[in-house]
Structure 1
Amino acid sequence: MRRVKRILLLIPNLDFGGAQRAFYYLGRELSADYEVYECVFNQDGGIAFPSENMLYDLEIPAGKNILDKGYRFLQRVFKVRSLKKKLQIDLTISMLEGADHVNILSKHKDWVWLCVQGSKSFDKDMRYEALSKKFLIPFFYKKADRIIAVSEGIRKELIKQFNINERKVVVIENAVDQKMVDQKKSEPLPDLYKQLFSTNKVIVTSGRLHNQKNQLPLFDVYAEIHRIDPQIRMFIIGDGPLKQEMENRAEKFSFKTYFQWNAVEPTGSESVFFLGYQDNPFKYIYNSNLFIFPSLWEGYPLALLEAMSCAVPVLAADCPTGPRQILAPNNAKDVYELEQLEVGEYGMLLPLITGRKNSNAVSVWAETILRFINDREFISYYGKRSRSRAKDFSVEVIGSRWKAELAKQ
């Protein structure tokens, strides 16, 4: 029987994102036992997570129109297939949908594995959504030799909605690098922020400024908080396409907001701080009182796991998929219609802030934050619970599960 020796990891890019970080961790862990190569479509967004594995850049950027996109897609397929032949790849693992399609169509003599990082049913940004859900996903994914879903929710939707053979789908969650988090969280804060964190109560969230991450409603949540306790400060870490929308929304409120990308130094009198991309978000999270996570959909969110690694209590939207599996693993549900606070074993689950189904969600979030940010026993207890749960997903634990699965091939 042929054994796996050479593995190719395929992803569209290696810029700043949770899937890219998971890709980096996987490549690092597998390289101890396998000959690992990495491949990206292009480096237009830079390489945020460089590894010691050999990296191949196809140098094929995104297309400008539908014909150009199709042409470049075929280019990617032919180049990846040629690379698989050249390197004599035994198994190829892809992450993110574009890479999954290329992986399947470029199949040579290799086994094809797909690592599905996000919900397909609830993804509101999926290109050609109707076409993808009805035809492309069922067609392509059925051809994979193995599908690794990062959450049980994703596994279920692949089987039930897209009719994927359940024997092909295995759950292996994303990993968190506890040693890296521990090292970075202890780095000192800038002087101004050190003073603010020591003299105020602070809530923090971290993620791309993107519709998926749902930071815009946090202005409404914070307005209710600020009205009752103006000493509470909110820090939002991340960069993305919604920067201007964040500035526009901030103008509607009386409290001051700081935006790092405007190249103006903060005075310390601001209530809300947008810090942009931070190479080390952990020192802010570690020194905060609460971490909040309002996403509309996820896969198995690394940002949440990394915050928990900082031993900080977390409040997360009960979105598809991941937060419930992380915070309340013994109370699994396939519907996401939470209307009030649910106290989980490892953190708090809150309703989605959509402005439609649950108009009371903003008040629930504000009341929950105000209730727990002043509760020292809660912060101490759930800080420890957070840290304990994050250890279940260390790179060592998750890496061993990947290797055990590879040994079955």
Structure 2
Amino acid sequence: MILSGDALTKRVSALGFFVLFPGFILYHTLVAMGMIPALLGGLFGVVSVMLFVVYCALLSSQLHVLLSATRGYALLTFAFFAYVLLWALVNFGLVGGGIMRAALIQTIETLVLWLVLFIMGYRVPLDSPRLARAFWLAFALIAGYLLFHVATTGQWMFFARRMVEEGGENVSTYQGYARSALVLLVFLIAISERAVVRAGLIVLGAFVMFVLGARSELYAFLALTLVLLLLWAGMSVKYMLTLLAVIAALIALVVSQFEALAGSRQLQVLDLSGTSSWLARQNLGQRASEQILANPLLGRFGGHIRSPEITGGYAHSMISAWVNYGLLGFVLYLGLTVSAFVGATYRLLFVGARDARWVFAFSINFVCLLLIVLAKPVFWPLPALGWGAFANALVTSRQRQSSDATQQAGPAGTRRGAPGQHDAARDSQGCNDNESGTSDLRPSAL
């Protein structure tokens, strides 16, 4: 069987989507347990480079539809990628040196991840039953293992690196685990249709995110689920009851386990002033703000790098884009996520879209927008998945509109002037409708 470029891109995207997110958690846990060797290093970077090569070979088969059916959104995305690359090359060419070289490499690594996640989000088949089954199975394994961990150890935090005596650098930090778990949960919520299933996902998902230990992802997930339940509750009494049940379940869990949870890093948000990571981030943010004020138009490319070996000194928010890529880069970076979020919100609220693609596009762009405002630097690659998800939903909607218009017009050979023929063709189409339903390549300093 010979696959078309489009079909091959969909299959590669489905496989990559599974490997980079639920597969990432399974892989690193097995490495930490000593059950498999770290053949793929940290996995995310190595697999992303492999996907980058494949996507570059297949990109020509995607460009026509992608550029024509997204109302310029995809073109703006590619223009942003080109701008960032050109900006990095020009700055390196003008200044040179070890720090500029490190900044250039970091930018190229980020661009690889952006392109991979953008194309993946655009072509991942969200309506694939096989992909859904794989994600459900992975979620069951992950949640079951974490429940076992808490029950047997009494610890409400899971750090895979602590399971390894030697070679711990090959096991992901909690940030990598939380990133993958967040996307896994967003996908399952988007493709689920029953209120009770979504309620169970939210409660169990909150437990998973809590145990994995990343505060940003945990509270972004809780904020997303609250917004979704409020949105659905306004349309259905069933979801109103679901919202109340979820809130009651979470409150009961926290109250019953408050003593065990009181010392956890997740509840440190109640008093961040005493935490070292928060103070460090405040200092980095202040430094970035000073660099922007010193040069508000151009920023300071590589200004977060103190030495070629230490590249994690960026502000943990969207202003890191302003520092590194200037005002225009900041506007494009933020604008892509804002426009995707606003577009998906409009579809959900005013058009009444209930398709999994629009729910996923809204959800992933909501959490990305929230996190780049509050906690994540420009080198965090997940926003590109949101850009691709929005393009996916746009293209699918445009194709369905074209299909509907074709069905209403009748077969190509029908004469519009012949009485009764148009109605007969329309009825026939109705009866036979077959419309198918950081830079992460290296660890951060924080």
TM range, normalised to the smaller chain? under 0.3
Per residue, is there more strand in 1 or in 2? Answer: 1
TM (normalized to structure 1)? Answer: 0.23
Bigger-Rg structure (1/2)? 2
Per residue, is there more helix in 1 or in 2? Answer: 2
